[in-house]
Amino acid sequence: MIKTDNRTIGDLDFTVTQLPASKGYPLFFKLLKHLGPVLAPLLGQFGDLDPKMDVKAALKRALPSIVMALASVDPLVMEQLGPELLANTQVNLPGRGLVQLNNIGNRDLVFSGRIKTMLLAIVHSIEVNFADFIEGNEPAVPQSLETASAS
């Protein structure tokens, strides 16, 4: 189920709608690819993108550091990732109503002079899109399956 989440950042109300899986997975791996090297010194455990790496556990630990990491990511990378992360974000802009941040004109309109707000909006999007995924919200395995598995 696609979920939405509202958050007030500064004096603006943001609404993030979660990306569908076909867009979320590629973005998640892109995020990991670009933030991984930045987070490596913080975590001391990110290496190359080994397919067997426990990415959820790694990113769960990394989440609090992402704000700091975003601020130090190559601006060119942020130019690519930022719009993708904000594509499903709306902001209620006084005097203009709901503004969708899926184009550069609207992003400039909202974030001009508000760089910190933009970073926090990106973090909000990361949380909405990937926090549960990162935390490994695993469903309980039915007792009958556990029993069958153990035997």
Partner 1 sequence: MPAELEPLWPCYRLVLERLATQTEIDTTMSIDDVDRLCIALDAWRSAKPEGSA
Residues at the contact surface with partner 1, assessed by CB under 8 A: 1-3, 18-22, 24-26, 28-29, 51, 129-130, 132-133, 137-139, 141, 144-146, 148-149
Minimum Å gap between C-beta 112 and partner 1 is: 31
CB closer to partner 1, 106 vs 129: 129
Contact 66, 126 (CB under 8 A): yes
Minimum Å gap between C-beta 138 and partner 1 is: 5
Q: What is the DSSP string of 26-43?
A: HHHHHHHHHHHHHHHHHH
CB closer to partner 1, 87 vs 93: 87
Minimum Å gap between C-beta 89 and partner 1 is: 15
Minimum Å gap between C-beta 63 and partner 1 is: 15
Q: What letter does residue 8 receive in the DSSP assignment?
A: E
For 74, residues 6+ apart whose C-beta sits below 8 A from its C-beta are 34
User: Going by DSSP bridges, is the β-strand pair 97-100/89-93 parallel, antiparallel, or unpaired?
Assistant: antiparallel
CB closer to partner 1, 25 vs 74: 25
In a 3-state reduction of DSSP, which class is residue 21? helix
Contact 46, 39 (CB under 8 A): yes
CB closer to partner 1, 76 vs 150: 150
